[in-house]
Chain A
Amino acid sequence: MSVATAEFRAAGTDLSERRRSGVSRGPLIDIASAAEGGISWGADGAATIGALTTIADIAAGARVAAAYPGLAASAEGLATPQVRHLATLGGNLAQRSRCWYFRNPHIDCLKKGGSACPARTGNHLYGVAFDLGPCVAPHPSTMAAALLAYDATVTTDRRSRLSIAELLGDGSDGSADHALAPGEMITKIILPAPLAAERAAYKRAISRSYAEWPLAEVCARAVIANGTFQFVRLAAGGIAPVPLRLTASEAALQGKPANAGTIAEAAKLATTDAKPLPMTAYKLDLLEGLVRDLLERLAA
């Protein structure tokens, strides 16, 4: 068995389904005891989260919720209580695509060694609205978008302090869900200390109330002082092959009064540079609605 072709298994919440369907067939390496769990805190208030820390622990930790409310809310908002209880932060970052075509064992696709993306010309109802590469599946990691909003870095057993963009790439490689080398393992995630008086929130647009992969999701952070936005950070998932910063909206709010009018205008800019597919234009409406919802909550 070669480490290079083996897949890691942390909690296995994603992997077990792919094993059962036959999409994953190669050797496995169980890392349940090989990598770190738990959260440690620096003197400056910055957190380092072990890759095997469960999503439930991130969602439930009082100190996480106080320092990084957007991260805690993102953790609370994903999957189901059963999955959150088992699933790990590292596993969430390294999970595979949720694309129908990728998950179907009878269909070839770019992520399974195929030469074309069948969803692009097929049914891509849940595909990207920012078409950045050959594969049209959005990145499935909710935590990646939250970590992007917090400028977190990721350390592996070979490299230290990769940005989320370095970890997941820019979406141009349709064959992979992340830019880790074969056999490379995430060990910890490091967050910078939170800003003074910052607020954060998270929301996903879905059809049901809970337990659904996001059609679009946003993690928003802001510092508001004297009624104006001093700092705004918006990261969105569910809309592109990688989580995206909504920089046009961020820039439009910088130094502007925190009221419904500026928020509505800035929310419209969330879709700047969007390239929707024939079936995904709706995601742009949802993205605008999410940004507006979150900023109004932060400004309230």
Chain B
Amino acid sequence: MEKLAKRFSLAHDKVRVIADHVGGGFGSKGTLGVETIAAVELAREAKAPVRVVFDREEELSITGYRPAAEMKLSLLPSAQGGLKALSLAAYADTGAAVNSLIAGLARLIYPAEAKELVDFDVVSNLPPGAPFRGPGGPPMAFALEQAVDEAALRMNVDPIQLRKRWDGDPNRQRLYDWAAGLEVWRNRKPATSQTGRYRRGVGVATGYWLYLWQPGSSVELAIKGGRIVASCAVQDIGTGTRSVLANTVSRAFDLEPHDIEVHIGHSNLPEGPGSGGSRVTASVVPPTLLAIEKLKAEITRTAARTPLPGSNAPWRELIAAAPDLAVSAKRPEDGKPQPGIRPALREAGFMGLVFGWVFRLVNNIVVGAGVPSSVQVMEVEVDTWLGHVRVLNAYTGLAIGKLAAPALARSQAAGAVIQGIGYALYEARETDPKTGHVLSGSMEDYRIPGIADMPRLEVHFDEAGFDHVPGGAVGIGEVATVPTSPAIANAIRNAIGVRLTEIPFRPDRLVAALKGRDAA
């Protein structure tokens, strides 16, 4: 709404954005695209509504994609087995777009005496790349987590123990302990010990995302006709924002989520956060909790009579009898974190502090204390004759605080692994080298995982670490998909003794690697 108001020099009350349901919300929805601007201009000229619809080829060609990147990485362990230095240069194939951030994300994990991190955008006439689930995170982890795995192999240290040594983050320390205790990890075979056609391997990788929240986010709770209505100008990109609000409110009143009417997706509702950067849950749950307290006080104050003693649903009775009323609350600041729990940006020292302040002032986003983290363990089977990789078992451990909506958190965690498997094994945007035409412009040619490609999947939530956040819950969307591709790569390395450095790990790349040949 603000972007449209600014672009067309309109007062805020002259723009209304309606987005009841936003599909495919990861990436490309945060910016005002050329097509939207054109639609607005056409609508104003024609004085009639204009609708923009992409067909599948257009959708897969021009509406944004995660840019491919070539990365060069080196790391130097110290004589004592610590991490002394790390350098990472990333060259992102961004097309007609800039501002990729891949290498820079390696600043905030694995502290070292010296780091040299450089990001380049390779700008071309190809369609513009766009932010895509954990922008920069999965490619950064793909390079860094394989390098750490390789270091562990060469140092002859258990890869989880090396991460425990190099990565002091308290959330991930607990996740490393969980991963080290997994039977599949304890039973894994040493690398290159297998010779048969089918070889199995186990790999581990870690990932993080920033804990972000948006100041000013407000939630209104109202009683209308004896029902609770929760309102906020936030949108649901398919990840369950409605359920997060309904769960939080219904729990407080001993109701069922479906008893709560949730109004979101309209810009004339109370100010809400943008659904990017995994910031929604941490932005809307705290004001909801405050509003709940206000609403309880207001209902009790206006109650004509108190429920009979022994009522098994006192709030249900009170709400049904309450007059129409409304309260609202704004996102409060976090409490004081436990010692040792710091914002991710603190890894960047004084500059991180400065960046955090600028980010809050300019973008109205706070980088809070505590680092949402993910550790994944993958077991794969490689068919060395046909170059086929199958993920047999996936274990994803997440530290994202308390679960605002447990069923949806689990579904996000599983979905992130599925998307990570697609990223690692199948997905690739193929273009014609001469004309730039997108060749994989249909679901026949752009491959995503099918149901038979799914592993047995175990989700582990470590709910500690965010007690300073009102409600204790932070976002899950991005962090959950960051480490999947390097965990699979490390598992393949464990299985066949060859390290694959280019995704997707298709049969052509597997058989070439097994024969020591360069893949096409």
List the interface of chain A (C-beta within 8 A of B): 17, 21, 98, 100-101, 103-104, 106-107, 118, 121-123, 125, 205-213, 215, 278-283, 285-286, 288-290, 292-293
| Residues A282 and B387 in contact, CB atoms below 8 Å apart | yes
Give A208 to B507 CA distance when docked, in angstroms: 10
Closest A-B pairs by Cβ, 5 of them: A289-B385, A279-B520, A209-B452, A100-B439, A282-B508
Query: Can you list 5 A-B contacts (CB < 8 A)?
Result: A100-B445, A104-B437, A118-B432, A207-B507, A208-B450
| Residues in A whose Cβ lies below 8 Å from that of B388 | 205-207
19 additional A-B pairs beyond A209-B390, A288-B385, beta carbons within 8 Å, are: A21-B442, A100-B439, A101-B432, A121-B434, A122-B432, A207-B426, A207-B506, A208-B425, A208-B426, A208-B449, A210-B450, A278-B520, A282-B508, A282-B509, A282-B512, A286-B386, A289-B387, A290-B385, A293-B385
B316 CB within 8 Å of chain A: no
Q: Which of A98, A209, A293 has most B Cβ within 10 Å?
A: A209
User: Which residues does chain B contribute within 8 Å of A100, judged by CB atoms?
Assistant: 430, 439-440, 445
Chain B interface residue count, CB cutoff 8 Å, equals 39
CB pair B520 A104 closer than 8 Å: no
Q: Indicate if the CB atoms of B386 and A290 lie closer than 8 Å.
A: yes
Tell me if A125 and B453 are in contact (CB < 8 A): no
The residue on B at minimum CB distance from A204 is B386
- Decide if B441 is an interface residue (CB 8 Å cutoff): yes
Within the complex, the shortest CB–CB distance from A284 to chain B, in Å, comes to: 9
B173 to chain A, nearest CB (A): 36
Q: Which positions 34-58 of chain B face chain A at CB distance < 8 Å?
A: 57
| B336 at interface by CB-CB < 8 Å | no
Provide the residues of chain B in CB contact with A122, threshold 8 Å.
432-434
Given A103-B442, A121-B434, A289-B386, A207:B504 Cβ within 8 A: yes
Distance in angstroms between the alpha carbons of A292 and B384 in the assembled complex: 12
Q: A210 contacts which chain B residues (CB < 8 A)?
A: 450, 452
Flag if A215 contacts B434 (CB, 8 Å). no
B residues within 8 A CB of A212?
A: 447
> Inside 8 A of A215's CB, which chain B residues have their CB?
507-508
What is the CA–CA distance of A212 and B444 in the complex, to the nearest angstrom?
A: 8
The distance from the CB of B238 to the nearest CB of chain A, in whole angstroms, is: 23
In the complex, the chain B residue whose C-beta lies closest to that of A280 is B520
**Residue B517 CB within 8 A of the other chain:** yes
Q: Give B contacts to A, CB under 8 Å.
A: 57, 383, 385-388, 390, 425-426, 430-435, 437, 439-442, 444-445, 447, 449-450, 452-453, 504, 506-509, 511-512, 514-515, 517, 519-520
Question: Looking across the interface, which residue of chain B has its beta carbon closest to that of A292?
Answer: B385
Kindly state the separation between the CA atoms of A211 and B434 in the bound complex, as whole angstroms: 30
How near does chain A come to B61, taking the closest CB pair, in angstroms? 10
User: How distant is the Cα of A288 from the Cα of B515 in the complex, in angstroms?
Assistant: 13
Most A CB atoms within 10 A — which of B445, B450, B508?
B508
Q: State A118–B433 Cα separation when bound (angstroms).
A: 10
How many angstroms from the CA of A207 to the CA of B427 in the assembled complex? 11
Residues of chain A within 8 A (CB-CB) of B504 are 207
Q: Are B386 and A205 in contact (CB under 8 A)?
A: yes
Q: Is the CB of B449 within 8 A of A107?
A: no
In the complex, the answer to whether B453 meets A209 with C-beta atoms within 8 Å is yes
Contact indicator B520/A282 (Cβ below 8 Å): yes
A107 and B435 contacting across the interface, CB-CB below 8 Å = yes
Option from B439, B441, B511 in Cβ contact (under 8 Å) with A123: B439
Chain B residues near A293: list those with CB within 8 A.
385-386
Taking a contact as CB atoms under 8 Å apart, the answer to whether B431 and A123 are in contact is yes
A106-B437, A208-B450 are known contacts. Are A285 and B432 too (CB-CB below 8 A)?
no
Contacts of B506 in A (CB 8 A): 207
Report chain B residues within 8 Å CB of A98. Answer: 444
Instruction: Find A21's partner among B57, B425, B453 (CB 8 Å cutoff).
Output: B57
Instruction: For residue A44, give the distance in angstroms from its CB to the closest CB of chain B.
Output: 37
Given A107-B435, A208-B447: A123 touches B430 (CB 8 Å cut-off): yes
Cβ of A292: which chain B residues have Cβ within 8 Å of it?
A: 385
Contacts of B511 in A (CB 8 A): 282, 285-286, 289
Complex-state Cα separation, A285 to B441, whole angstroms:
28
Nearest neighbor of A80 in chain B, beta-carbon distance: B450
Tell me if A209 and B447 are in contact (CB < 8 A).
no
Enumerate chain B residues within 8 angstroms of A17, measured Cβ to Cβ. 442, 444
Which A residue sits closest to B454, measured CB to CB?
A209
Measured between alpha carbons, how far is A161 from B225 in the docked complex, in Å?
78
Q: Is the CB–CB distance between A207 and B515 below 8 Å?
A: no
Residue in A107, A207, A213 whose beta carbon sits within 8 Å of that of B437 in the complex: A107
Roughly how many angstroms separate A118 CA and B509 CA in the complex, as a whole number?
23
In the bound complex, residues from chain A placing their C-beta under 8 Å from that of B431 are: 123
Shortest distance in angstroms between B296's beta carbon and chain A's nearest beta carbon?
A: 52
Taking CB atoms, residues of chain A closer than 8 Å to B450 are: 208-211
Shortest beta-carbon distance from A272 to chain B in Å: 18
Query: In the assembled complex, how far is the CB of residue A175 from the closest CB belonging to chain B, in whole angstroms?
Result: 20
From residue A275, how far is it (CB to closest CB) to chain B in Å?
Answer: 15
| Nearest-Cβ distance from residue B420 to partner chain A, whole angstroms | 15
Chain B proximity of A20: nearest CB distance (Å): 8
CB contact between B517 and one of A101, A121, A279, A281 (< 8 Å): that residue? A281
